Structures are given as structure tokens and as C-alpha cells.
Chains A and B, each alone.
Chain A
Amino acid sequence: AQKITQTQPGMFVQEKEAVTLDCTYDTSDPSYGLFWYKQPSSGEMIFLIYQGSYDQQNATEGRYSLNFQKARKSANLVISASQLGDSAMYFCAMREDSYSGGSNYKLTFGKGTLLTVNP
């Protein structure tokens, strides 16, 4: 089963509007972290926002907020007041805390959502 699911291969939004990028995850680990990264066409991976599984409040970083619904296992990224420079691929990722001698400290990524901001 996929650990991270991003169901929107592509999204379009008008400049200055808000947009929500969906992410659902699957884990039995009670402690985990959820991350969003942005990958512009230039290729670099830019960290945007983090949410811990025990955090009571939704994370916010400037125009980015994370809508964390633990019971539904979703961690949607909300970008407010979209800008042309927000056009990029967006990846949701999870890191599980339990260390069982394997590779559980890795980030597991979704397939990404390509966001296009129209002027």
C-alpha cells in the first residue's frame, strides 16, 4: 500500500487565490512527521512546512498552512494568495519515528502535484 497519496497530478489556480493540495498518508506508527516540499522547474527541493503527529495546532509558515486531520490521515497544504512564483511541483512526505533496524528514518514521498498559477 502506498504510504503517501497525492491524488491531484495537476492543479490550476488564479493568481491571488487560495489553493489546497491534497495529501493522505498511511502509517501505524503513533509518532511521525509530515512535510511539504516545493520543486520548481529548476529542480531543487525546497522545504515548506512541517507537522508533527502530536502537534495540537495546524502548522503555518507565511502563506503556507497545513490542514492536519489526524483521524482522516490527511495533511493538505493550503497556499493563500497564490503568486506566479508558486508554480512548481509540490511533494508531500512522511517520516516515521519508530526505528526497527530498517530504514524508517527516510522520507517517503508522494508522486507530487504540479501546480500552475495563472495570471
Chain B
Amino acid sequence: DSGVTQTPKHLITATGQRVTLRCSPRSGDLSVYWYQQSLDQGLQFLIQYYNGEERAKGNILERFSAQQFPDLHSELNLSSLELGDSALYFCASSVDGTRGTDTQYFGPGTRLTVL
């Protein structure tokens, strides 16, 4: 158990819908990252937050947004869902996210299926 929690574990929804994925980082970690894992794209970085502020952005679609709250939990919002958004979404956390040596610990993931 990495100490990172994600809910829900599975999510099945329809095209055009909106969903929210939730992540609680390890105790003491200030930085949260979101990744998407799909068969065709592999593991892709989406976005990073540090202590409530957006720090870095990757290949995140405009239909997707995220935030980190004062208690440091984070939510990833996916809207106008398409079939291609079906993937495993991971949240990871690290102590401060400002050094390359900072280890990221991953949550169990949320498997999103868009029908």
C-alpha cells in the first residue's frame, strides 16, 4: 500500500458525460500528479499540483481540468467524455515535487470506461 488513495476504483459512464476522480496523497506529501495510462499512448503525464497551485502541465486535454484543495486532496474532472478517454487514471504524490530525485508514489488508479 503506497498510502495514496483514489476513488472510485472503477467508473463506467457514457459519451458526453462528466466525471470526477478523487485522490488523497500520502501524509506529508505536498505534490500531486495525474497520469493517464492507455493501450495506445502508454503512461502519459497530465498535470502536477504543488501545495494547491498548478505547477506543470503535460498532454492534458482542454476538456480535462484538475485542482488541489487546501487539505491537499486533488480532483481530476473529465468532461464531454469520448470513447478514447477510456483509460486507467493514476494519481501519484511526492514530498515536494521540486527535485528530480523526488520519488512519486502511485495510487491504485481509477479505471474509466466510456461507453
Contact across chains for B100 and A97 when beta carbons are under 8 A apart: yes
Contact across chains for A109 and B43 when beta carbons are under 8 A apart: yes
Contact across chains for B48 and A45 when beta carbons are under 8 A apart: no
Contact across chains for A50 and B103 when beta carbons are under 8 A apart: yes
Report if A118 contacts B (CB, 8 A).
Answer: no
Contact across chains for B101 and A52 when beta carbons are under 8 A apart: yes
Contact across chains for A44 and B105 when beta carbons are under 8 A apart: no
Choose from A44, A91, A96, A105 the contact partner of B48 (Cβ within 8 Å): A105
Contact across chains for B99 and A97 when beta carbons are under 8 A apart: yes
In the complex, A53→B102 CA distance in Å?
13
- The total of chain B residues at the interface (CB under 8 A) is 28
Contact across chains for B109 and A102 when beta carbons are under 8 A apart: no
Interface footprint category on A: 20 to 34
Contact across chains for B42 and A105 when beta carbons are under 8 A apart: no
Choose from B56, B101, B111 the contact partner of A50 (Cβ within 8 Å): B101
Contact across chains for A103 and B58 when beta carbons are under 8 A apart: yes
In the complex, A44→B48 CA distance in Å?
19
Contact across chains for A105 and B97 when beta carbons are under 8 A apart: yes
| Contact residues, A31-58 vs B (CB, 8 A) | 31-33, 35, 37, 43-47, 50, 52-53
* Shortest distance between the CB of B112 and any CB in chain A (Å): 12
* Shortest distance between the CB of A110 and any CB in chain B (Å): 8
Contact across chains for A107 and B45 when beta carbons are under 8 A apart: yes
A104-B56, A105-B97 given; 20 more Cβ-contact pairs under 8 Å: A33-B101, A33-B102, A43-B88, A43-B108, A43-B111, A44-B107, A45-B90, A45-B92, A46-B2, A47-B2, A47-B104, A47-B105, A47-B106, A50-B101, A53-B100, A99-B98, A103-B45, A103-B48, A105-B56, A107-B104
12 A-B Cβ contacts within 8 A?
Answer: A33-B101, A33-B103, A43-B111, A44-B107, A47-B103, A47-B105, A50-B101, A53-B100, A96-B100, A105-B100, A107-B45, A107-B104
Nearest 5 interchain pairs by C-beta: A106-B45, A97-B100, A45-B106, A109-B43, A103-B56
